[in-house]
Amino acid sequence: MTLLITGASGFIGRHVCAQLTHHHDILAVLRQPDTQLPALRQQVNALGGQGERLRAVQGDLDLPGLGLPEDLAPPQAIIHLGARFAWELDRETAHRTNVAGSLAVAELARRHGSRLVFISGFMLENREHLQRLGITSDDPEQVDWQAVYRRAGGYEASKLEAAIRVRALAAASNLDLVEVQPATVAGHSHTGTLDTAQPLFALLDNLASGRLAMAPGSPQHWLPLVAVDHLAALIAVAATGDTVPQRLLALDPDTPNLQGLLAIAANTLGRRAPQRHLPIPVLAALLRLPGMPRLMNTWPEALHFIQPTRFDTASTDAFLAQQGLTRPAMEAVIAASARWYQQYRRDQPDLYPA
Ligand SMILES: NC(=O)c1ccc[n+]([C@@H]2O[C@H](COP(=O)([O-])OP(=O)(O)OC[C@H]3O[C@@H](n4cnc5c(N)ncnc54)[C@H](OP(=O)(O)O)[C@@H]3O)[C@@H](O)[C@H]2O)c1
């Protein structure tokens, strides 16, 4: 089976490549294949995959037609992970890479008759949140996107817009679309391996550096998590399985509430866990003060993902059972992630003087 993947060099992408190269050859769309492919092969080998089964083609989500050669062999499936993932993205930049880029990938899948495994996010299943943002229709033309970008920020708004537009394209063209909706990604379930650009890394860093005296939200608030290796396994079977549900919610419903998550991490890090709560509107107001987001290492947009809504994972649970996949125990994943963070900190004495 030939599989094409975007975002292979990213945190999730590396783990997906490590899992898929056990049985498949992969063609990665990379912006700078000459330098990125050797590094990616090494990372994939270190994660237990077979780096030599990876090849690369130069491409860029920001370019018309992705900048890919015309004579690309039709892949059986395309896994689309590539995205600009950052806070405070302006609308134009976020739209170009995350929306126009996703539509170009979807168009490529349609043209080749490939399955598209499209990675969106768990907030697409939070209906109250979508309504608050002004997304009340499945028809992308009925949504005031300018207002959505203003309320949600560039990253989240562009991910929502991309998903809704890709779904509309799939419905109009018979595209075989599987949407994987990940929660915030935690480290590897055994090694805890994270990536410094990941939101969970920032949370652990804030906790370890004494910037989290209180837990944001209330006892009902939680930050749903998924272990990166479990997510990668789910994406792999979504790409290669025969019958796959159209949407897979990659979220561990047993993730503890935020205070519980912080207590597990604090225990591993030898810090005091926050005992009291800071209501989200109060924190959001604080973060509107100039300079505050940088000082607190917290961006207002990130607060949306800490919320009280619970999610129905029944259809994903059934698919996991059918594929013989089980979710790793989330409390152990959080502790492993915190241990990895602590080791990273020890290895960087210049960044973290004792
Ligand atoms: N991590 C999470 O908590 C989380 C949760 C829900 C959904 N997701 C989604 O999962 C996907 C992967 O996330 P991640 O955490 O692995 O992100 P990441 O580590 O930031 O990786 C992003 C990837 O996208 C690529 N990329 C960015 N701009 C590109 C462009 N113009 N053309 C081609 N490739 C481009 C990057 O390539 P370079 O190496 O060249 O920069 C990199 O491989 C994203 O779609 C994200 O929205 C992530």
Whether residue 224 has its Cβ less than 6 Å from ligand 1: no
CA of 247 to the centre of ligand 1 (A): 20
Q: Which ligand 1 atom sits closest to the C-alpha of 200?
A: 3
In angstroms and rounded to an integer, the radius of gyration of the C-alpha atoms of the chain is: 20
Task: Identify whether the C-beta of residue 179 lies closer than 8 Å to the C-beta of residue 248.
Answer: yes
Whether residue 82 has its Cβ less than 6 Å from ligand 1: yes
Whether residue 228 has its Cβ less than 6 Å from ligand 1: no
Looking at ligand 1, which residue's alpha carbon is closest to its atom 17? 10
Q: What is the amino acid identity at position 134?
A: G
CA of 98 to the centre of ligand 1 (A): 9
Whether residue 62 has its Cβ less than 6 Å from ligand 1: yes
- The counts of H helices and E strands in the chain are 14, 11
Phi, psi for residue 222 in degrees, rounded to 5: -145, 160
Whether residue 198 has its Cβ less than 6 Å from ligand 1: yes
pLDDT of residue 4: 98
Q: Which long-range contacts (CB under 8 A, 24 or more apart) does 23-27 make?
A: 23/240, 24/53, 24/240, 25/53, 25/54, 25/55, 26/53, 26/54, 26/55, 27/2, 27/3, 27/55, 27/56, 27/57, 27/75
CA of 119 to the centre of ligand 1 (A): 10
pLDDT of residue 299: 87
Whether residue 13 has its Cβ less than 6 Å from ligand 1: yes
pLDDT of residue 294: 87
Whether residue 84 has its Cβ less than 6 Å from ligand 1: yes
pLDDT of residue 258: 97
Q: Tell me which residue of 139, 188, 168, 159 sits closest to 80, measured CA to CA.
A: 159
Q: Which of 35, 85, 337 to mutate to test the pocket of ligand 1 (most atoms within 8 A of CB)?
A: 85
The dihedral region occupied by 42, where left means phi > 0, alpha psi between -120 and 50, and beta the remainder, is alpha
Q: Which of 12, 117, 125 to mutate to test the pocket of ligand 1 (most atoms within 8 A of CB)?
A: 12
The full DSSP string for 55-68 is: EEEE--TTSGGGG-
Q: Which of 44, 81, 156, 235 to mutate to test the pocket of ligand 1 (most atoms within 8 A of CB)?
A: 81
Write out the chain's pLDDT in tens, 354 residues: 789 999 999 999 999 999 999 999 999 999 999 999 999 999 999 999 999 999 999 999 999 999 999 899 999 999 999 999 999 999 999 999 999 999 999 999 999 999 999 999 999 999 999 999 999 999 999 999 999 999 999 999 999 999 999 999 999 998 999 999 999 999 999 999 999 999 999 999 999 999 999 999 999 999 999 999 999 999 999 999 999 999 999 999 999 999 999 999 999 999 999 999 999 999 999 998 888 898 888 888 999 999 999 999 999 999 999 999 999 999 999 999 999 999 999 999 899 887
Whether residue 203 has its Cβ less than 6 Å from ligand 1: no
Q: Which ligand 1 atom sits closest to the C-alpha of 120?
A: 7
